[in-house]
Amino acid sequence: MSKPRLLFIHRSVGQNLINDSQLYTLVEQAGQPFLLSDFNQNTNTFRAANEEPHTVAWQFPGGDTTPEDYAALFSAERLAAGDPMLKEILAYDSIAIKSCFPNTRITSDAMLERHTQAYKNIIQFFRSQPTKKLIILTSPPLIPTLTLPSFAKRARKLAQWLASTDFGSNVFVFDFFDALAVPEGKFQANTLRREYRRRFPFDSHPNAAAAKATAPKIVQFFTDIARR
């Protein structure tokens, strides 16, 4: 029986997570329960185990990985039109998606509702693809200087909604935000934890310590899903 194939779609935080934790090595050490590939939308770089990274011609709608961009990609209209990028993505058994940290700067309730609706649309699409598994990694938090308490609280609300809702048997959520964020009720709540911040000011990319702390949990999460 062939091993399930998993595609992880991300941007720079995902790239750092993979490199800083040696994610492919962790998967191999876990017995390679699934075949991992990843696509860095920021650089159009595709990578897989035992393959050299290379550029592919995939062009995301909107040119980013916002929830709205993902919703535009995973749509019935695009599927019906025979979009070649979507066809290649759906060749995988599991598709893991993550929006980058700018999407946790949720400046209004209206923006929160737009993000929520976008995720609902993505999930509805995968409900129409019951043989495919969708894995959502909630967006990582921002450093305190790049957000406001009300923005960060909305980001927590979105992550909690995603992580606590039963979306069906083929949709899974890893609360990446919660793994990296200061808990509610604490100083600088819902922002990137101090121990996971880089030394550079105005940089919300989680550091190597964050990658090493969260990657084993993510590999285990992916493994559990692959074995279902």
- For 77-109, the pLDDT digits (tens) are 999 999 999 999 999 999 999 999 889 999 999
Q: How confident is the model at residue 50 (pLDDT cuts 50, 70, 90)?
A: confident
Question: Given a cut of 70, is residue 187 above it in pLDDT?
Answer: yes
**Cα–Cα distance for residue pair 17/218, rounded to 1 Å:** 10
- For 122-174, the pLDDT digits (tens) are 999 999 999 999 999 999 999 999 999 999 999 999 999 999 999 999 999 99
- For 7-46, the pLDDT digits (tens) are 999 999 999 999 999 999 999 999 999 999 999 999 999 9
Identify the CATH number of the domain in which residue 47 sits: 3.40.50.1110
Angle at CA 72, nearest 5°, toward 17 and 74? 70
CB 64 within 8 A of CB 97: no
**Secondary structure (3-state) at 212:** helix
Question: Given a cut of 80, is residue 1 above it in pLDDT?
Answer: no
> What count of other Cβ atoms lies within 10 Å of the Cβ of residue 15?
18
**Cα–Cα distance for residue pair 215/76, rounded to 1 Å:** 33
Segment holding 16, helix H or strand E: helix 12-21
Q: Which domain holds residue 74?
A: 5-226
Mean pLDDT of 66-79: 97
How many structural domains is the chain composed of?
A: 1
